[in-house]
Amino acid sequence: MTALQVSKVSKSFPGVKALNNVSMTIAAGSVHALLGENGAGKSTLIKIITGIYPPDSGSVMMNGKPVRFANLRQAAAGGLGVVHQERNLVTRFSVGENIMLDRLGASALSRVDYAAIHREAETWLKLLDLEVDPRTIVSRLSVAQMQLVEIGKALSLHSRVLLLDEPTASLTPNESTVLFRILRRLRNDGVAIGFVSHKLEEVFDICDRVTVLRDGVNACDSADLTTLSRADVVQMMIGRAERITKRAPRAQPDVPPYLQLTGYASGAGHRDISLSVRPGEIVGLYGLVGAGRSELARAILGLSRQLGGEVKVAGKPVHITSVAQALHQHGIGYVSEDRKQEGLILLHSVLANSGITLWSKLANRMGFLRDSTVNAKVAPVLQRLELKTPSVYQTIGNLSGGNQQKVSVAKWIAAGVKLLIIDEPSVGIDIKTKAYLHDLIHELAEQGTAVLLITSDMPEMVDVADRILVMDGYRIKGEVENDRNYDAVSKAIMGFIHNHAAA
């Protein structure tokens, strides 16, 4: 039985034909993959289905009946749940209030039973193995925890059609395993699930059929995944075979550390943190949600108080109190995991966002800055990452999430910092760009940049890092030398985490 059918849908924006006669059919009791490169039209299609955008032409049907939702609330009332790539939470509300947002009371004047709300929310948090008090304010959560709350909110609606746009982008393999267990149960209960992901190993693990978009048109309409190989899917997505890089372990640079923490403690809760990153070295920082990795990056940048221990940059003790000081005095850059809130100014142009780290360097003696001067510096990086935009003057908020992430990374690469902290660099990035990004990170290291890499993507960690520090409970639990043997390295990493959990 067909639960959701999209027929010949088209959508245009200024300067861009986002979708052109796109079709997709999702059956009840199936998990259906929607794949394509950044800018291929996947998120636009989901936004049309859920009523955020009206289509220029074409139709959407649920259970054989035409539907055209006016907004997300109407879609939810019609049995359609969605988890968008960009989070849609009220950060000043509690976790429980967000999960139950549309059911806080029978009417606007109804008394809100907060105890009941938090009890109901706790059910969904336990289902997702998310150990968070439902009374916690959402702004205090990590990006990965917010993503799980979004998923819990969608599940709580008991939707018969559930659309998930990059649901595992910020999740570790363990958290993804929990989510897939839930999705399989929903599929067995007859729910139709649309699943957008750039992680093809996940797609072949969880999905039954696939629709592939390339440049806004169907490269494949609802094909059986069992008849396709990974190479077939990649060929449809990017128009050529996938480039696979087999990296040999890199020689460790024999130079003093550029960044060194000794017995470091922060106001965020870190204790006895000791680590070093040398010029030309890529140090990975791996851990589960709540391990304190992103919080450590922010503390290094001065966004949390230093309560103890020592921080050295280029061999000299320092006390960093702001991001501006970290960048301009110590050459430290930070690719935030939260591009929407911290990494980008969404109302500004691509050029302004990609060049903002260079303004003070490129301005003339009178303080004036030419767009052409900035563009000359950032254009090579944007071209390498194959940014899809009509113009560098396009408002960055109008780009797809993956293309926004490219700009978020590019601005720091163009800045030529001496230490680059990269937090979840490939969230929302397609497989072709991911390979280019990994090459760029390695090139930065070869040129002498010290790199601290935070990622929840285990294959990415093993492919990119020279050595890996394992973090849990806001402490460093161990170190793993990376010989590129995925099975052995991943087993060693998880061993540190599981040993700590058992203790």
Domain count, the chain: 2
Q: How confident is the model at residue 489 (pLDDT cuts 50, 70, 90)?
A: very high
* Domain identity same for 217 and 295: no
* Domain identity same for 441 and 494: yes
* Domain identity same for 94 and 205: yes
Helix (H, G, I), strand (E, B) or coil at 69: coil
Last residue of a domain, one of 210, 238, 266: 238
- Tens-place pLDDT, residues 76-125: 888 998 888 667 788 899 999 999 887 776 666 678 888 989 999 999 89
- Tens-place pLDDT, residues 425-438: 887 777 887 888 88
The least confident of 55-59, 148-152, 256-260 is 148-152
User: In the prediction, which pLDDT does 14 show?
Assistant: 79
More confident position, 364 or 108: 364
- CATH number at 79 reads 3.40.50.300
Strands 16-27 and 2-13: antiparallel
The least confident of 13-17, 232-236, 253-257, 278-282 is 13-17
Mean pLDDT of the chain: 88
Structure tokens given for 60 = 């959407």
User: In the prediction, which pLDDT does 502 show?
Assistant: 45
- Structural domain that includes position 493: 280-305+318-502
**Angle in degrees, CA 254, 333, 435, rounded to 5:** 75
pTM (2 decimals)? 0.70
- Tens-place pLDDT, residues 193-215: 999 998 888 999 999 999 999 98
Least Cα distance to 46 among 15, 13, 24 occurs for 24
- Tens-place pLDDT, residues 300-321: 999 999 999 999 999 999 999 9
Say how far apart CA 36 and CA 46 lie, in whole Å: 13
Last residue of a domain, one of 182, 205, 238: 238
Does residue 382 belong to any structural domain of this protein? yes
* Domain identity same for 340 and 229: no
Count CB atoms within 10 A of the CB of residue 155: 22
Helix (H, G, I), strand (E, B) or coil at 266: strand
Does residue 209 belong to any structural domain of this protein? yes
User: In the prediction, which pLDDT does 109 show?
Assistant: 67
- Whether the Cβ atoms of residue 204 and residue 211 lie closer than 8 Å to each other: no
More confident position, 19 or 341: 19
E-strand ranges in 225-357 read: 259-266, 273-277, 282-286, 306-313, 316-317, 332-335
Given CA atoms 94, 100, 106, 107 in this order, what sign does their dihedral have?
positive
Mean pLDDT score, 383-405: 84
Q: How confident is the model at residue 166 (pLDDT cuts 50, 70, 90)?
A: confident
User: In the prediction, which pLDDT does 73 show?
Assistant: 84
Least Cα distance to 284 among 497, 96, 458, 76 occurs for 458
- Tens-place pLDDT, residues 341-362: 777 888 889 999 888 888 877 7
Does residue 383 belong to any structural domain of this protein? yes
Does residue 493 belong to any structural domain of this protein? yes
Q: How confident is the model at residue 503 (pLDDT cuts 50, 70, 90)?
A: very low
Does residue 270 belong to any structural domain of this protein? no
User: In the prediction, which pLDDT does 430 show?
Assistant: 79
- What pairs with residue 26 in β-bridges? 4
* Domain identity same for 110 and 160: yes
* Domain identity same for 284 and 225: no
Q: Is the pLDDT of residue 421 over 70?
A: yes
Q: Is the pLDDT of residue 276 over 60?
A: yes
* CA distances, 43 to each of 28, 320, 457 (Å): 21, 39, 22
Helix (H, G, I), strand (E, B) or coil at 36: coil
User: In the prediction, which pLDDT does 105 show?
Assistant: 64
Does residue 452 belong to any structural domain of this protein? yes
- Tens-place pLDDT, residues 212-252: 999 899 999 999 999 999 999 999 998 877 766 667 788 77
* Domain identity same for 182 and 300: no
Q: Is the pLDDT of residue 456 over 50?
A: yes
Does residue 135 belong to any structural domain of this protein? yes
Residues, the chain, total? 503
* Domain identity same for 290 and 196: no
Q: Is the pLDDT of residue 477 over 70?
A: yes
* Domain identity same for 401 and 459: yes
Does residue 460 belong to any structural domain of this protein? yes
